[in-house]
Amino acid sequence: MESDGLALKWRRIPNRYRLLGSHCENCGANFFPPRKICPNCGRKTKMVEKTFSGYGKIYSFTVVRTPTEEHKENAPYILAIVQLDEGPKLTAQIIKDNNKEIKIGSRVKLAFRRITEDGKEGLIHYGYKFQVIK
């Protein structure tokens, strides 16, 4: 498969590689994924970049057994909504670890991993997953 839509994924590298999100200096709210306009402040938005620590806890989770075409190779995999310590929630996979119990409230930390690849000879897309720490 050829790597069309290259820029689509390339432009999100800073966000996906090191959790670069945004922070509104007007109201103090944190956002990940990043946004241009703060939903609390509207045109009074004063958005600056913010890198998140990568620590949080599982808010909800599931095991995906019927994936989309792009994720076929990885199934089944654990998908969760993680709430970061700084407030925002995001959607990410949880790395399998048979020694750790996965439940709502489990502490997790950021891990840099391969997410998808465009076939055997195409681009590999990296990003964030999380692993349970206790």
Partner 1 sequence: MRRVAIVGVGMSKFGELWDKSLRDIIAEAGLMALEDANMESKDIQALYGATMASGELIGQEHVAPLIADQMGFKNIPATRVENACASGGTALREAYLAVASGAFDIVAVGGVEKMTDVSTSLATTALGGAGDQEWELFQGATFPALYALMARRHMYEFGTTEEQMAMVAVKNHENAYKNKFAQFHNLITVDDVLNSKLVADPLKILDCSPITDGAAVAILAPVEIAKKYNDAPVEIIASAQASDRIALHDRENLTSLKATQIAAKEAYKQAKLEPNDIQVCEVHDCFTIAEILAIEDLGFFKKGEGGKATEDGQTKIGGKVAINTSGGLKGCGHPVGATGIKQAVEITWQLRGEAEGRNTNAEIGMTHNVGGSGATAVVHIFKRV
Distance CA 14, CA 128 (A): 11
Distance CA 120, CA 87 (A): 38
Q: Contact with partner 1 (CB under 8 A): which of 2, 25, 70, 97? A: 70
CB distance 108 to 56 below 8 Å? yes
| 16-55: contacts with partner 1 (CB under 8 A) | 33, 39
Question: Minimum Å distance from CB 110 to partner 1?
Answer: 13
Q: Contact with partner 1 (CB under 8 A): which of 65, 99, 101, 120? A: 65
Question: Minimum Å distance from CB 40 to partner 1?
Answer: 12
64 is a site residue for partner 1 (CB under 8 A): yes
Helix (H, G, I), strand (E, B) or coil at 121: coil
113 is a site residue for partner 1 (CB under 8 A): no
Q: Contact with partner 1 (CB under 8 A): which of 91, 97, 114, 133? A: 91
Q: Contact with partner 1 (CB under 8 A): which of 49, 60, 85, 114? A: 60
Burial of 117 (0-12, 13-18, 19+ CB in 10 A): middle
Question: Minimum Å distance from CB 34 to partner 1?
Answer: 10
Tell me how far CA of residue 57 lies from CA of 92, 125, 131, in angstroms.
12, 25, 10
Partners of 30 in the β-ladder: 23
Partners of 90 in the β-ladder: 82
Interface residue list for partner 1 (CB under 8 A)? 9, 12, 33, 39, 59-72, 74, 77, 79-81, 89-93, 104, 115-116, 125, 127
